[in-house]
Each structure stands twice: as C-alpha cells, then as structure tokens.
A and B are shown apart, each in its own frame.
Chain A
C-alpha cells in the first residue's frame, strides 16, 4: 500500500524520464537572450544585475528608501538619536490621538513606549488578541529596511509576533542605522545569517500600508491591515 507521497513522487519520476527543452528556445531572434554564464540559475549576483538598481552608499540608500516610502504613502522619519525618536513618536501620538499602544519587549521598543506614557499592551506569550484589537497602534522593531523597494523585513521573533504589525490600524517600526540594506537579496542573506537554520515560523516583507485595488482597480489604503505605516530610522 503506497503512501500519497510515494504515489505522487512515483508519477513525477515517470514523467521526468522524458526531458524538456531549456527555456527561451522559442521566440523571435530579437527576443533571444543567450543562456547566461553566471553559474547555477538565479544566484544573488545574477538577480542583482537584473532588478532595479540601488544606491552606492548608505545615504543614497536612505534616500531611495525615502522616495519609495513617499510613493507607497509610508511615513518615513529620519532622526539623529534615540531621544529624537522618542520626541517624534510623542508628536505622532498627539497628532494621531493614540490612547492605547501595543508593543513587544526589546530595549529599543520598550524605551520608546514608556517615554510615551500612554496605556500600553505587550504582546506576551498567549496574549488576548481582543486586547490587541483595542489598540490604536502597534509599535515594533524589525530585522531590516530594504531600500530597493521601501520594504520592512520582520519575523515573528523580531516583530513581536505575527499580529502586532498587522492587526492595529497603525503600524510603527523603529529601525537602527545598521538595519538599512540595499536590496531584497541582502535581506535573504541576513535572514540566513541571523537565524541560521532555525527560522521563525513567520517572516514577512511589508511594503507600504495595507491596500486594495479590487474596486474598479482604484487604490484604497487600509483594507484589512494597517491604514497607516510609519518608519522611524535612528541614524546614530
């Protein structure tokens, strides 16, 4: 009695006895692209050659992240120090009229949240999601900021769980200078380095506030995830 796995793998092996042509063998000559010589298909080096270009240094990448954020309607704040970050958040809390702040425990985040002096809710193990739902904002750390696409990389570990960064209507990320990376490939390299092979169960790339185009292809922000996204980058 063969298992479902053996049945499917058996059929696949049988099917693969005949070989299929390599890709790009069809199409007019103007379309032809020689089979590359970068080595095995899809190395980061090769991918970097094709994707949009990135900045040559940190400052250029910070500006690239800023431009992308503007397009995406992400609020991007560059601040010189931790103290300046606290100040920026205080101003944001006032203008957005936050009453309840959700967060997770890291020195950076806890410090920022306590400086706000508002009712706070920590996403500790087995927290009550109904409490999280009552919060106006979720403040989290991240693993990286990706300049190429204006993206935040975070995981269940670095981002305070799966829901903190998506359930409240406003998500604030506090990032540090060393976390700004040029491109997506760097992001995946970082994940491999930081987590080894013990990856968290959840890793996400956040690119702008939540949105939909399902109604007449018209862009609307704040579908199910946060309507507002703020990134605070501490430059010291």
Chain B
C-alpha cells in the first residue's frame, strides 16, 4: 500500500521522533510511505475557537495535500478527527464538500490503520517495560477507537500493560482550552497524572502527542519520574 503520512504541526515541531517511528513501523510491514512536505496544519486551532472562515483555507489546503493519496495515516487522534469528522462539516453545502468526504473516508489514525485496515496486531516489537495507556478523547469518542492500541501493545514482547482507573478521562489539553483556561486544564492534568502514577508504570503511552505534551508537562512540574511515549515509538522498538 502507498501510505501517505499526515504529520500534525506540533508533532513536526516538538515530537518528530514519534512520526519517524510511525514511518519505521509502516515500512516494516512492507508498505511505502509518502510525505507531502507542503502540509502545514489541518486547521483545527481556528476551527476549535469558532473561526470557521479562517479555518477553511487551511483545511482546504490540507485536502489538496491529500487528495491523491491512497490512504492517509496520522499519529494524532485529534488531527485525524479534524480531517474525518469536522472538515466535512466545515465544508457542508460548499463545493469542497465532496473532496472533504473522499479524503475523510481514507484517513486513519495510526493504531486503527494497523489493526483495522492492515489486519495486523503484532508488528514484531520488543519493549521490556511496564506501561499504562491513555486514551486520547478525539480518538476514543470522535473516531470510536479503543481496542486497536491495546491489541498492539499486548503483542509487544516483554511489555506489561497496566490499566489506570481513569484511562478514558480527558487529560485537559483540549487545544486552545489549555491556555485559555489554564487552571482548569491543569487540575484536569493533575487528576490524570494521579491516576497514571497510581499504576506504578514506567511509561505512559498514548496515540495522541498533544495529550502527551500535557501529561508530561504536569509530570515534570511534579518531579515524577514517569516518561511519556507515543504508541508508535513503543511499536518501533525491537
């Protein structure tokens, strides 16, 4: 399969290793990875803040970047949700609506791509560590993804998965919410981190880098030793 990679703007800036890990895993399965360098952003920041007119040109450009793709894979539930759920709504009744629906139908989050599209649950990874998994809200509720990540982690050799009690509770990032309402965002992050630390895991893993930014941010401030990792980075380990 010709897999086109969607790398969110903040992953490009802060967590390129997570995206590179996705490339390694996908190539390991025998697919070719393409990357449209002109892709900048899916348009979520203005969209979430209600500036839909300003979001449209950005989302439209993203649609152009991916229009020729066979299949598009993104490592962040929130950006995939933007492409799959919200971009069609953004262009409802407009000339781009058809293209938006086409692109949406071939866009996948990384774990659901591996398990649901490729039918693969074992990518030949090995990572001797105790990890706990955080379900990013967009992946969980906009895209309906819960099982794939866990099935993949189950098959990573020597890895122990411990579930936290609040796996499905929002970490508090929420895009601009994190800086517009920092006190609420922080207390949500603290609740999340308390649940993470209670598992005594060495790593907290998620399929959304924005969540990991929030979680690691709080953990660092609290001086906790737990490290965060993107699911792709775990799966790339051998």
A interface with B by C-beta (< 8 Å): 27-31
Contacts and interface: CB of A to CB of B under 8 A. Distances in A.
A167 B142 CA distance: 50
Interface of B: 85, 141-144
A29 B85 CA distance: 11
B148 to A, nearest CB: 12
Contacts of B141: 28
A102 B230 CA distance: 69
A114 to B, nearest CB: 59
A31 B141 CA distance: 9
Instruction: Give the secondary structure class of B's interface.
Output: helix
Contacts of A30: 144
Contacts of B144: 27-31
A27 B81 CA distance: 11
A189 B222 CA distance: 61
B117 to A, nearest CB: 14
A115 B143 CA distance: 67
Contacts of A28: 85, 141-144
Given A28-B144, A30-B144, A31-B144, 6 more contacts: A27-B144, A28-B85, A28-B141, A28-B142, A28-B143, A29-B144
A192 B144 CA distance: 43
A110 to B, nearest CB: 57
Contacts of B85: 28
Contacts of A29: 144
A28 B143 CA distance: 5
Nearest to B84: A28
Nearest to A28: B144
Which are the 7 A-B pairs with shortest beta-carbon distances?
A28-B144, A30-B144, A28-B143, A29-B144, A28-B142, A31-B144, A28-B141
Nearest to B140: A28
B104 to A, nearest CB: 12
A139 B142 CA distance: 54
A29 to B, nearest CB: 6
Nearest to A26: B85
Nearest to B143: A28
Nearest to A31: B144
A17 B56 CA distance: 29
Contacts of B143: 28
